[in-house]
Structure formats: structure tokens, C-alpha cells
Structure 1
Amino acid sequence: MSNCATILLSFLSFFCVRLFFVIFSSRRIRLAPANPRPSQTCSIAIFLGSGGHTTEALKLASALDFSRYSPRTYIVSEGDAFSAQKALALEHVKATDHVFSDDQPQHKLLTIPRARRVYQSLLSTPPDAVKSLLACMYLVSVRPLFKKGAFRQPFVDLLILNGPGTCVILCAAVLLNRLIGLPSPRMMYVESFARVKSLSLSGKLLYHFTDRFVVQWPDLVQPGGREVYRGCLV
């Protein structure tokens, strides 16, 4: 066996072992302390997947205590003005209903390239998916390194996903961070309310890779599975 083949085989073996430990450790992560202190805050990022996905994600967000879950980052796909407007509208409503101190009502809006457009052919999808992945890697891996006073801190504490396809790319960027040992957010995937009998494609792809996988219908809970069912959330 040539030296190049040996090196390649060793690299692949290391990658597989590392991936196994990343997946195994993600299943043991707890998303929050058992008895959190009232003064604790948790920075979150919510991916808004457009249309019904955005509506569901913002309903989840609206139930949070914004004085504790701060700062908040809303991630939208390019060209999705609807989701951006809805996120800003939610922040406006929360600011009207509650009185925050000056340092608490923090939120920002980030845009990433779409991994795949509606009705886009499969042949033309890979370049867009790569572009989206590079943007997500910058967001998750590179940008936090240059943030003042945030060395060895993830870009947020918790990343909430509920589809569609671009969230898979975002999850892949987080997994790459974990593979190379960089600080990474914990990930929670909430399956869409519309999925009653079977998981969505995004759900099937991310089932083993997120730290918490939440479903909203009891028929989606499998014996011995890792689904978490707490009833309908949206």
C-alpha cells in the first residue's frame, strides 16, 4: 500500500472515530441546567425557514422569556423578506409588552445563502449548497473568533432548527466545528407541526446529529428512539 493510501486511510479512520464520539456526546448533552438561576441568560439563534416554518419558529420564540433568552439571533435565507419582517415584528411586540433594561432587548438578523431554491434542479444544487455551507461556517466558526471578549465561546448557546433544507447545512457547519474541537452551540430540532405520521426529510437527516429532537405528535415517537414529545408546541 502506498504512503498516500495509508495516510488517506488513517485520516478516514480518525474522521469516523471522531464523528462517532461527536454523535455520542451530543446525545448526552443537557440543554439547560436542572435548576437554572434567575440571573442566567441564554443566547439563542433561530433559523426561520420561510412560510409555515417561520410561523412555527416564531411561535416557539414568542413563548420564551426575552429577558432571559438574550441576545437573540434570527437567521433567514436570502430573499426571504417575509421572515425578516415577522422576526422584527415579534421583537417590536415583545418590546411593547415588556419593559427591558437597556442591555437586555438585544436581537439581530443574519442572512445566509439558500442551499436550494424551490423547484431547483438537483444538478444545479451542489454549488449553491457549497456556497451556503461556506457562509454557515463563517457564521459558526470564523466570526466568533474575532468577537471581542468572546474567545472560546460559541456564536450562541442554543441553535433552534425546524427546517427546511438550509437548516441541514447550518447543522453541518456546527458538526464541523465539533469535529475540529471549536466551541459550538447546542442544537435543538423541532419537527414541523404538519408532520403527523412521518418525519420530514430534514428531520430524517438531522435525527442523529442534534442534541435534542422534538416532535409534536405521539405517532412520531418510536420505541427506544431519541424523540422528545411534549405535545403540540405551536
Structure 2
Amino acid sequence: MFLLALALAILVIYRIFCTLPNRRRPVLHANTKSLAVFLGSGGHTSEALTLISALDFGRYSPRTYVISEGDSFSAQKARDLESLKQTGAGPAQYTLLTIPRARRVHQSLLATPPTALVSLLSCIYHITLAHIPFPFRNRPPFADILILNGPGTCFMLCIAVYINKFLGLSAPRVIYIESFARVESLSLSGKLLYPFVDRFIVQWEQLQEKVPGAEFRGLLV
């Protein structure tokens, strides 16, 4: 029994080690990549949409906009961007995906774990369970690339991605882009996600100097 438990522990540790991000891994070179982006509401949504508005939507397709429950502002802004970028005769290739918030505004810390769990389970369903291939159902992976910029709910998305990696399932590369407002220090989301994302990008050079492994590409928004 002890040997079995030890073997399982070693296997789990090995799988966790295998899922750690490799920031030297080459960039995807496929002609078309599916893209998911988390819209964290308010200024986070504006930043995220400004970032992806510079992309070639013909190359990054289909697109999934992940929105927190009750965030009608972000949903409308995503639709507006898609309408603005629409060039072909057919319908735009995008989806709005709503997930529960991990923590509501002014919610106490004691009340946060249940809502965070519900948010996590929703992310696991949409990223993992809804895309597991079954007979007579061949759904594509959730996305090739997942862009995160925003509050705590994006951490639930990252955990769901790592469950896929742990299980050996298809998982998107995760890119975290720190908010323009973070000049001298990382946000709480940035601190939580830093060890787990494939690319970690900051928008101020002085912040890059404080965060080993962070990338600085100039002001992006």
C-alpha cells in the first residue's frame, strides 16, 4: 500500500513538473490559430479589446470572448469590435462565453471560496469536459491561445488549462498581459499567474526589470 501511494505521488509530481510553463518554447506557426480572451470588465475589457483589435482576425479564428456573469458592458464591447472588424460576407467567427465570477465586488473573503469553486467548475466544463472527444462528437480544442488580462476570475481559467495539461489533453498556450496601470508592481492576478503562464508581458520597462522572465514590448494599449 505504501509503495502504491509513493508511486502515485511520484507520478503526480512528475505530471505537475511536465505542465510547468516553458517560456523558451517556440511560437506557434500555423496559418490559423483559434483565440480566447478573457474580458475582465471596465478598464480590463478596454485594454484586452484594444490589444486584440490589432490582430488579423482572418488568421486568429474562431475567437472566444470569456465574460464574467452579469457583465453586459464587455459583451457589447466584444460585439462592437467584431462588427468593426467584419470584412467578409459570412457571419463573424466568434463566441461569447459567460462564466460565474470567482469573487463579486465587495464580497467578503470568507464568502469567496464557494463562488470561486463554482467559477472553477464552470471553467473546467467549458475548457475540458465540453471538448473531450467522444464517439460521434469531434469538437475542436477550446483554443490554441488564451490571453488573460484582468481580475481573479482569470486565475480559474488558468487552473482549468492546467488540468488539461495534467491529463495530457489539448491545452492553449496562456499569455498574461499585465495592466497598463501597473507601473512599479504587479497586480494580485499577475502575482498569482506569473509561475503558470507561457508568456508574461508587462507594459513598463521598469516593471520588467523587477520581474525575471517578464517580456516588455512597449506600451500595448
TM-score (norm 2): 0.92
**5 Å matches for 1:51-90?**
51-90=42-81
Q: Which residue among 20, 24, 27 is the counterpart of 1:23?
A: 20
Letter in 2 for 1:14: L
Q: How much does 1:127 deviate?
A: 0.7
Instruction: Summarize the alignment of residues 95-106 of structure 1 with structure 2, pairs less than 5 Å apart.
Output: 95=86, 99-100=87-88, 102=90, 105-106=92-93
Secondary structure of residue in 2 paired with 1:167: helix
**1:220 aligns to what SS in structure 2?**
helix
On the 8 A contact 1:31/1:186 being kept in 2, the answer is no
Contact 1:67 1:100 survives alignment (8 Å): no
1:102 Cα offset (Å): 2.8
Aligned partner (choices 133, 145, 149) of residue 120 of structure 2: 133
Over 3 Å counting, the alpha-carbon distance change for 1:224 and 1:161 in structure 2 is closer
Aligned to 1:124: 111
The C-alpha deviation readout for 1:43-64, integer Å capped at 9, x for no partner, is 1001000011000000011111
Indicate which of 33, 52, 55 corresponds to 1:42.
33
The match for 1:110 among 97, 109, 115 is 97
The Cα of 1:6 is off from its aligned counterpart by: 5.5
Match runs of 1:211-222 below 5 Å: 211-222=198-209
Q: Deviations over 1:133-186 (max 9, x none)?
A: 110001111111258444xx5211110001210000100000011011111011
AA partner of residue 118 (structure 1): V
Report deviation, 1:13: 3.4
1:11: which partner in 2? 8
* More off after superposition, 224-233 vs 118-127: 224-233
Equivalent AA in structure 2 for residue 28 of structure 1: R
Number of equivalent positions? 219
Aligned letter for 1:20? F
Aligned residue in 2 for 1:168:
155
- Cα distance in 1, alignment partners of residues 160 and 42 from structure 2: 24
In 2: Cα distance, 1:169 partner to 1:8 partner: 28
Tell me how far apart the structure 1 counterparts of residues 28 and 89 of structure 2 sit (CA, whole Å): 24
Question: Can you list the C-alpha shifts for 1:68-88, whole angstroms capped at 9, x where unaligned?
Answer: 111111000001011001000
Q: CA RMSD in A?
A: 1.9
Query: Which residue, 156, 167, 170 being the options, matches 2:143?
Result: 156
Distance in 1 separating the partners of 2:115 and 2:164:
21
Q: Percent identity?
A: 54
Of 28, 33, 44, 1:32 maps to: 28
Alpha-carbon distance between aligned partners in 1 of 2:6 and 2:41, rounded to the nearest angstrom = 41
Where in structure 1 are there 5+ consecutive unaligned residues?
A: none
Structure 2 counterpart SS, 1:43: strand
Corresponding residue SS for 2:98: strand
